[in-house]
Structures are given as structure tokens and as C-alpha cells.
Amino acid sequence: MYPLLFRTVLQRMDPEQAHHAAFRAIRGSAAVPGLRSAVRRVTAPEYPSLRTRAFGLDLPGPFGLAAGFDKNAVGIDGLAMLGFDFVEIGTVTARPQPGNDRQRLFRLPQDRALINRMGFNNDGSAAVAARLARRRAGVRSPFRPGTVVGVNIGKTKAVPEAEAVADYVTSTERLAAHADYLVVNVSSPNTPGLRDLQEADRLRPLLGAVREAADRTTGRRVPLLVKIAPDLADEDVDSLADLALDLRLEGIIATNTTISRERLRTPAGAVAACGPGGLSGAPLKERSLQVLRRLHTRAGDRLTLIGVGGIETAEDAWRRILAGASLVQGYTALVYEGPGWPRALHRGLAERLAASPYATLSDAVGADTRTDT
């Protein structure tokens, strides 16, 4: 039914309005216990063979929802109801901000892609921290106890680069206690100057300060990851892997959206009319896989890698695992595939694992890079 709904209703709506409508439906379903359980039985059957452990956390599977869908931590249990094994919220900034002017989200159906220049629209880290604290203090989801929640933090647009470290530290101090893992986002193309922070000399003090603030405010080791862009040169990918190892980060997320517009099926004029922004979805598939493979070749199993960018099918996810991803994430394909997507992806992954020579998913992680060497 979803393809029909998408073609006849959702595709005719403004993409951002359609997102809000769909998200309200997900949250509304999760708020009704009987309906929540019924949806859960359909969308999220358990596959014991896919159980995964990453940076000290036990997950029912390797497939999570990437940051950007739930920016404000308002629908975590509803998203877990759909079958996502973990949910990354954000990007959250220290100060609340409205984001860029609308229209700021565009579909490219011929490419199964999106272009967005949302600009980190969110309620700010104080409000999101209070929301996460209330959730943790209340009754947790009975159908997915203890859903793993990642918190993705970024720079407030109005903050100058000289004050970026303090801005990230403020968000860390507020949010780290509520995060199962923490992600430093320095790779969105929609905040001016943000990607400059990926340079090793600038990134080192930022990550060091976030690490110190997380340890100081929580009294525990919160897994810390950095999310990088697919547009980096290969030597810069190597440098970031080396930096992450030197700073003893837990992992890297590869990758964010791209500013490239190469090899799109959508007519060039229609793409240009969308304007600037990050491209996500199927066109990102190969470059994100290349970055992931390079990271794993450089770091081996010393870093936990999360593969994201262009994952649509179980085969896409399986290729990321073989290339070195312990976990995978998606977002754009949810727009095009609908709520049955996590179920289909889990089923396909379980089938591929069963047909492979590997006893567990962890055995399969990085198998292709081991063969290459």
C-alpha cells in the first residue's frame, strides 16, 4: 500500500510537510498500547542471528535510523516500533535555531534521493536534554526495552568558529548523560564553515574538549564518534582515521550527505532549481562504501564504523558490513520505501548471513578488506 500512498498523496505534498505528517502518524501509533504492539508485530519481528554488540552496547540488530529524522527526540519509541535497532537523534545545537528558510527539502524520485539544506533546525540542547531525561525517568518502551539512543551534536550557526569548541562543549555537558553514544557532526554542508572543522588541526582540540566534557559530566565512558563527509580526499580520510585512533575515539560514521551532483538521472535544470544543500540517498552509495572501506583498511577493528549513505536494500547493508561496518544506518530510503523497509532489510540480512560462511555478523565485519589484503 505504501507505494500507492507515496505516489498519490505524499509525493504531491511539500516534502517537509509530508515528513511532519508521517512522523505524527508514527508517534500517534506508538502512543496507543494495543496499536503499538500490533504494529510492532508486523514491522519488527526478531532475528536472533542479527544480534549485535558494538562499543559495549547490546543491540537486537545492526540497523539504525540516521540523524535528521528525529531532530528533537520526540519520537524515539515510535521509530523503534518500526523496527530500527537504534535511533540517532539530532543534529542538536547548543542554542535553539529555526534552520534555513523554506523550501529547504527536495525530492529527486528518479534518483531515489533527497536534497536538504535544513540548517540544523532544532529546539536546542537544553530542551532536548530535558526531553531525554523525562523519557529515561519514565516507563521505557515495553516492546523494545532500553532502545539504544545516539545523540548527534553540531555547531550553532550564529556562533563564530573561534567559539565552536565551547559551543559543542555546552551541548555535551547537557546531553552526554542521556546518550548511549555521542556523535560530533562536523560534516553537514548546511552550516557555513562547519566542514572546515574536519581538518585535523581544528578537529583535534574539538574532539578532545568534547571527550573531557563527556567524561566529566557523566562519570562514565560515553562512546564518542565523529561523522565525516563523503567529499573528503582519500588522504584526508586516512588522516581522520589516524586522529580518531590517536584520540581513542570509539568510532566514525561514514558518511554524511554530499555536495556533489554527479551522475544524477534527474535533469540538470531540475537539480539546479533545488539550489544548494546536501544530497542523500542512492547516488551516495558507492562513495560512502569507498570511504568506509578505506577507514577499515586503515584502522581495522580498532574503530567501530557505522556505514550510512545510500543504503536501500539488505544487499547494500551486507556490502557495508563486509567492508567494515559493525552497524549501518539509513534515512532517505524510508521516504521511498515506507514503514515496511526495516522489516525487509532485516529479513534480507538474516538470509545473507545464513547463506554465508560466517557464524555471526561480527565475523563478517570487514571480511572483504581481509580478502583484499
Q: Which residues pair with 33 in a beta bridge?
A: none
H helical segments located in the chain: 2-8, 15-30, 33-43, 76-81, 125-137, 164-175, 200-218, 234-246, 268-274, 285-299, 314-323, 332-337, 341-355, 361-364, 367-372
Which CATH superfamily hosts domain 2-372? Aldolase class I (3.20.20.70)
315-341 pLDDT, tens digit each:
999 999 999 999 999 999 999 999 999
The residue written with cell numbers 562499543 in the block is 55
Residue 372: band (very low, low, confident or very high) from pLDDT cuts 50, 70, 90: low
Whether the per-residue pLDDT at 207 is higher than 60: the answer is yes
109-153 pLDDT, tens digit each:
999 999 999 999 999 999 999 999 999 887 444 334 479 999 999
Predicted TM-score (pTM) of the model is: 0.96
DSSP state of 68: T
Name the 3-class secondary structure at 321: helix
213-227 pLDDT, tens digit each:
999 999 999 999 999
- The average pLDDT across 44-66 equals 96
DSSP state of 99: -
How far apart are alpha carbons 339 and 43 in whole angstroms? 7
Return the C-alpha cell found at 44.
Answer: 519488527
Chain mean pLDDT for the chain: 95
Residue 143: predicted pLDDT: 37
Using an 8 Å Cβ cutoff, are 77 and 145 in contact? no
Using an 8 Å Cβ cutoff, are 124 and 154 in contact? no
- Exposure letters 304-333 (e unless 16+ CB within 10 A, then b): bbbbbbbbbbbebbbbbbbbbbbbbbbbbb
Residue 2: predicted pLDDT: 86
15-38 pLDDT, tens digit each:
999 999 999 999 999 999 899 889
In the set 141, 188, 280, 288, the catalytic residue is 188
Burial class of residue 51, CB neighbours in 10 A (0-12, 13-18, 19+): middle
Cβ within 8 Å of residue 340, ≥6 positions away? 2, 43
**In the chain, where the domains are located:** 2-372
Using an 8 Å Cβ cutoff, are 16 and 100 in contact? no
**From the CB of residue 43, how many other CB atoms can be counted at a distance below 10 Å?**
18
188 classed as catalytic: yes
Residue 169: predicted pLDDT: 98
Torsions phi, psi of 353, nearest 5? Answer: -65, -45
Residue 6: predicted pLDDT: 87
Residue 210: band (very low, low, confident or very high) from pLDDT cuts 50, 70, 90: very high
Using an 8 Å Cβ cutoff, are 117 and 100 in contact? yes
The sign of the CA dihedral 42, 355, 282, 187 is positive
More confident residue, 33 or 93: 93
Using an 8 Å Cβ cutoff, are 46 and 342 in contact? no
How far apart are alpha carbons 310 and 329 in whole angstroms? 9
Residue 371: band (very low, low, confident or very high) from pLDDT cuts 50, 70, 90: low
